[in-house]
Amino acid sequence: MLKALFWLGSSRNDIRNFPAGARRRAGYELYLVQSGLEPSDWKPMPSVGVGVREIRVSTGREHRVFYVAKFEEGVYVLHAFEKKTQKTPKADLDLARSRLRGLLTRRAARKIRSRQ
């Protein structure tokens, strides 16, 4: 059974703006994650948050997709971007961290409301 896919911020539009080959590859890799499998090229991103992973898409240019799949309800895509330098830019890391914080805050608030 496929997990739902949730897009945070502009992540869906960001992937839509990838070149066609990178967009197809990113979509396939996210499908693998939704299916409970591991993407073909990924690494953990503890600098963003616990459970966050980075899908690496190489199609002549480098693209990255940060996601978290540890929640039962689905896979959350935090951020997607073209990587133009060896080191991931601080702005991209900060944006992903901010979106993760917002997600965790919303999930915690839902838990509190469901207990009342």
- Cβ atoms of 8 and 99 closer than 8 Å: yes
Residue 61 has pLDDT above 80, yes or no: yes
Tokens 């896979």 locate to: 75
Nearest of 3, 33, 9, 5 to residue 97 by alpha carbon: 9
Q: pLDDT for 70-83, tens place per residue?
A: 999 999 999 999 99
Q: What is the mean pLDDT of residues 104-115?
A: 83
CATH number at residue 13: 3.30.2310.20
| pTM over the 0.85 mark | yes
Full residue range of the structural domain in which residue 96 is found: 4-115
The total number of structural domains in the chain stands at 1
Give CA separation, 35 vs 27, 50, 69, 78, in Å.
12, 21, 11, 18
Residue 63 has pLDDT above 90, yes or no: yes
